[in-house]
Every structure is written in structure tokens, then in C-alpha cells.
């Protein structure tokens, strides 16, 4: 018998109609009651939050991270499933993955259709997540949705409404569900996991600023004035902005602020091609390119680097480690 702990955090999978819309108000055991449990699996529920995921804070996410580690301190636990709202699932899953140093799986899932709907996708997703958590080893943190198994790293929400809502735009799924089994076709490459950060009294502020035609550095500077210790610059193309942004990045970095450079384009890597405010100049000014990671997960990498310590050089090294396209530190399959 495989012992799986389900950590319930809310989201659409736990939502019921309230007035004109839906609210995540169902407890974890109510969510679990909708799903068929795979043979040979026993389930325990931790009712952590009941929150629509756009309302999650950094403090919520760090509480989830610590709860995952606390659950895995029990050697009798075989795996974890996290039920989560889809809007920010990619961020929470990547945060847990960056700090996950255990062969036992942590599987995130959720739903696009609310609880108790006749055509709901939550029960099937939850069943598949339970089966995955009971079956696989050595794959890090996973996202299981619509019959597919994804690595947390790089996987984002790509559809607002349809059931098949998650993908890595720059990569392929790890596997899929079929005939009552989990078929894993490839293993993810992951950097060596980071240590578990302490719970800060006030989490560091990390903001995102997007470049567009005609943009200046006003919002970038406003983030600094608001106390941001990290900024993700969401650039155009392969990572390009303007000379004004180059100056703003250089000023921020000189003050010890971490700056990550990503792009608003759906897939492909940030690449140093252009000057006159392009990625060549932004990276020279101190921005750290994010590879194929997009804004939400880049922000999580910056957050983890800031939580790793107070030394500026060490923080920069942690950020580069978290963002680098990994080639080592991969768990061997069980």
C-alpha cells in the first residue's frame, strides 16, 4: 500500500459558486471525495489553505514549501499531491522543485472546471496525480494535468479555459497516462536543489516589469522606489529593451538588486544578439538571462536567491545556478 499525502490549497478544484462567481471554499476531504483513488493507494489530507490562487502570497507559497518538507520528514510517506489553483500553480510548483532534494515525488494538479460540475476535470486529474505520486521516483516536482506528466521547471499555464491547460512551450512532457499506468518517456534535467530557506518575517519584494513599444524605465524605477530587492524584466524578442532600461538595470545592480531578464515571447531562450538596449547590453549591465524560463518562474528563482542569504555575490551565484539550463544534479530513476 502506497501512502500519499494530499495537501489542499484551494483553487478551482475546490471552488463552488458564490453569487456571480466561484470561490475556493471546499475543504481538502471534500475535494478528495470527488476522486477515485487508485488501487493500492491510501490517502491522508492536509487542509492547508482554501484560497483562489491569484490571491496567494509569497508567505503562502513559503508555508507550502515548508509543509512539503515537513511531510517528507516522515519516511513512511511515499509521495505528495498538492491540489492548487491553476493561475499561479507554475510558480508554487517551481518553488518547491528548486528546493526539492528527495526522490519521492511531489505532484501538483488542479482543475479548470469547479467542484461538483457534471463535466468537471478535477476528479480525473486528482486520480492521475495520486497514481503518479504512488508510481514514479526521482523526477523532482511534477505537474499532472489532462493526462500528461510535466516537469515543474518550464511548465506554465498555456490555456485560460480548456482542460489541457499546461505545457512547457520550449519542451515536451515527461510522459502521459494510459491504460491505468504512468508512462514516463524522459527524465528532467534539474540543477542541484537549494537548501530549505528560513521563513522570513517579511518576504523580500520581487516585482515584474514588462517592456513594450514606447516604454521607458518609469515602472522599473517605481519598483525600486517601492523597495524591490529583485526585478524580473520581461523584455521583447530574445530579451531586448532600450538604452533607458540598460541604465536602470545597471543602477539597480549597483545597489545590490537582483535583475533577471526574460521575454514575453512564449517559447525559446533569452539570447544575446542585439545591442542598443538589447540583451547584449542588458546582460553586460548585470541582468541575469533566464534561458527558457518565463516571468513567473524567473521571479521565483529571484526570490529563492534572495532567501539564500544576504551576501550580494552569493545571491547572484544562487540566481545563476537556479536559472541555468541544468546539465547535472539529476536524480537517477528508481
What residues act catalytically? 12
Half-sphere exposure of residue 310: CA atoms within 13 angstroms, side-chain side: 1
Q: Under a CB-based contact definition with an 8 Å cutoff, are residues 45 and 85 in contact?
A: no
Inter-helix orientation angle 89-98/295-307, to 10° = 40
Alpha helices, H only, 228-294: 243-254, 279-284
d(CA 26, CA 28): 7
Those residues with Cβ within 8 angstroms of residue 96's Cβ, 6 or more apart along the chain or in another chain: 64, 65, 68, 82, 106, 108, 141, 152
A 10 A CB-CB count for 260 gives 28
Q: Under a CB-based contact definition with an 8 Å cutoff, are residues 128 and 108 in contact?
A: no
- DSSP string computed for 37-68: PPTTEEEEEEEEEEE-GGG--HHHHHHHHHHH
**Paired strand residues for 260:** 232, 288
d(CA 259, CA 319): 9
Residue 186 C-alpha from the chain's centroid: 20
d(CA 99, CA 221): 31
Phi and psi at residue 87, in whole multiples of 5°? -65, -40
Buried b (16+ CB within 10 A) or exposed e, 308-320: beeeeeebbebbe
Amino acid at each position: 500500500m502506497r501512502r500519499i499525502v494530499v495537501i489542499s490549497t484551494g483553487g478551482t478544484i475546490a471552488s463552488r459558486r458564490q453569487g456571480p462567481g466561484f470561490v475556493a471554499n471546499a475543504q481538502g476531504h471534500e475535494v478528495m471525495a470527488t476522486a477515485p483513488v487508485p488501487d493500492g493507494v491510501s490517502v491522508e489530507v492536509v487542509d492547508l489553505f482554501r484560497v483562489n490562487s491569484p490571491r496567494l502570497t509569497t508567505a503562502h507559497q513559503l508555508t507550502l514549501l515548508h509543509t512539503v518538507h515537513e511531510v517528507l520528514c516522515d519516511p513512511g510517506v511515499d509521495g505528495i499531491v498538492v491540489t492548487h489553483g491553476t493561475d499561479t500553480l507554475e510558480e508554487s510548483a517551481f518553488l518547491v522543485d528548486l528546493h526539492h532534494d528527495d526522490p519521492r515525488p511531489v505532484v501538483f494538479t488542479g482543475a479548470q472546471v469547479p467542484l461538483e460540475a457534471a463535466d468537471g476535470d478535477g476528479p480525473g486529474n486528482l486520480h492521475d496525480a495520486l497514481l503518479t505520486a504512488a508510481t514514479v521516483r526521482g523526477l523532482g516536482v511534477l505537474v499532472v494535468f489532462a493526462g500528461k506528466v510535466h516537469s515543474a521547471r518550464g511548465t506554465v499555464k498555456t490555456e485560460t479555459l480548456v482542460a489541457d491547460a499546461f505545457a512547457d512551450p520550449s519542451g515536451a512532457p515527461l510522459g502521459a497516462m494510459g491504460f491505468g499506468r504512468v508512462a514516463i518517456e524522459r527524465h528532467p534535467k534539474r540543477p542541484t536543489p537549494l537548501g530549505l530557506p528560513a521563513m522570513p518575517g517579511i518576504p523580500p519584494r520581487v516585482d515584474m516589469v514588462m517592456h513594450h513599444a514606447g516604454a521607458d524605465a518609469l515602472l522599473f524605477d517605481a519598483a525600486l522606489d517601492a523597495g524591490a530587492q529583485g526585478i524580473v524584466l520581461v523584455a521583447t524578442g530574445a530579451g531586448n529593451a532600450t538604452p533607458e532600461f540598460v541604465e536602470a538595470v545597471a543602477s539597480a545592480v549597483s545597489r545590490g538588486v537582483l535583475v533577471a531578464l526574460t521575454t514575453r515571447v512564449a517559447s525559446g531562450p533569452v539570447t544575446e544578439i542585439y545591442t542598443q538596449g538589447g540583451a547584449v547590453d542588458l546582460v553586460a549591465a548585470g541582468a541575469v538571462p533566464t534561458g527558457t524560463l518565463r516571468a513567473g518562474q524567473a521571479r521565483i528563482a529571484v526570490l529563492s536567491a534572495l532567501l539564500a542569504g544576504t551576501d550580494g555575490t552569493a545571491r547572484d551565484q544562487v540566481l545563476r545556478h537556479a536559472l541555468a539550463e541544468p546539465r547535472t544534479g539529476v536524480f537517477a530513476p528508481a
